[in-house]
Amino acid sequence: MPIPSPTPHSAIAATRTGAPLDSLWQGRVVIWVVLAAEGLAAVLTLAGDAPLGRWIRFGLLSLVVQWVALLTLGGLYLLRERLRDVKPQLVAYLALALLLLSSWSVLAVSDLLLGELWRTPASERMDVFLRVTGIVLVVGWLALAAFQNHWRVRQLAVRAKQAELAALQARVRPHFLFNTLNTGAALVHHRPDEAEHLLLDLADLFRAALGGPREIPLSEEIALIERYLEIESLRFRERLRVHWKRPEPMPNTLVPTLSLQPLVENAIKHGIERIPGGGEIDIRIDSDDKGVIIVISNPVPSEPARASTGHNVGLPASLAQIEAYTEGRGSVVARADGDRFIVTVTLPAGV
């Protein structure tokens, strides 16, 4: 079975790189914007005279400030696609300009609709306009500074996760190579023809695994698993039986390279290899609007487990890779169910 050609790293990176404005559409950020607007209305109420009563003034200011904040967010949301490739500094200036336009528009509409409750005498309109503009500029610059700091912290966190993921992959790939070469060494003396076939398969496998990007489509990871199972079947023959259940077409989801293969390797090492008659490995892939679920199960040996002498990077590495790649939204859960050991991998939609 041919291994798919590696996906260009630039294409993968494009799917994982977020724009600075993306975080504005998160529910938590919107709530904080609303609360900050209410705080600004409260400060303006306490800072000025209240001939109409502080509660009435606070209510009117809250209405105006909330409209300004939500109109600005709405304008940025409508322009999100056009701003995706724009430099963050230019996006910041545009956001400030939208904030000013929203403030002037809401101020004008309020003066028309609220009548005597809000209407400003003609002699004072320029003064009010200048004061509003000054307040908006000061608050806008403070908000942009806070957002810039938030974006910088987020970028540093993403880079830390990427470094952690790269370190994990640097451990998993040599581990994979070591175990596969052990299989070839076991066949050299007794079945040299099959050993030669294994080495040819191994060359194709590692051309994709080691020369490709750090993230690949799920279909390519499954292809790597199939090639690995072909190699292991040369050693175990009829003792290794694999049952697949997967959707067609395969879900368009990205995964870290060699993040699922160690789980299949664990199923062989801790299940099939330790059972004289072998057994069946079940691999099931399901998908829906919430994401993708991969379930890998293997038989459990009847005798007590021996202390492992391996590298112990299989399950922990897969767990860390999935959690790092999905920013904590994905998971790898292992459990025993009767005479089966089951590992469930959850990949959220959008990765």
- The structural domains of the chain, with segments of one domain joined by +, span 11-119, 167-348
The whole-angstrom separation of Cα 72 and Cα 96 is 9
Contact 95, 76 (CB under 8 A): yes
The model's pTM is 0.55
The reported pLDDT for the residue numbered 306 is: 56
CA dist 88 → 20, 26, 148, 179 (Å): 7, 18, 9, 47
The predicted structure's pLDDT at residue 233: 86
332-344 pLDDT tens trace = 999 999 899 999 9
The tens digit of pLDDT for each residue in 118-137 reads 555 666 667 777 877 888 88
Q: What is the pLDDT of residues 3-56, one digit of tens each?
A: 444 343 333 333 344 555 666 666 777 787 788 778 877 877 777 665 556 777
At the topology level, CATH places domain 167-348 in: Heat Shock Protein 90 (3.30.565)
Contact (Cβ atoms closer than 8 angstroms) between residue 194 and residue 234: yes
Query: 340-348 and 331-337 as β-strands: parallel, antiparallel, unpaired?
Result: antiparallel
The residue-averaged pLDDT of 108-119 equals 66
Using DSSP, state whether 127 is helix, strand or coil. Answer: helix
pLDDT tens digits, 90-110: 777 788 888 888 888 887 777
**Per-residue pLDDT reduced to its tens digit, 280-331:** 999 999 998 889 999 999 999 887 655 444 444 568 878 888 887 887 889 9
pLDDT at 309: 45
- Mean model confidence pLDDT for the chain: 76
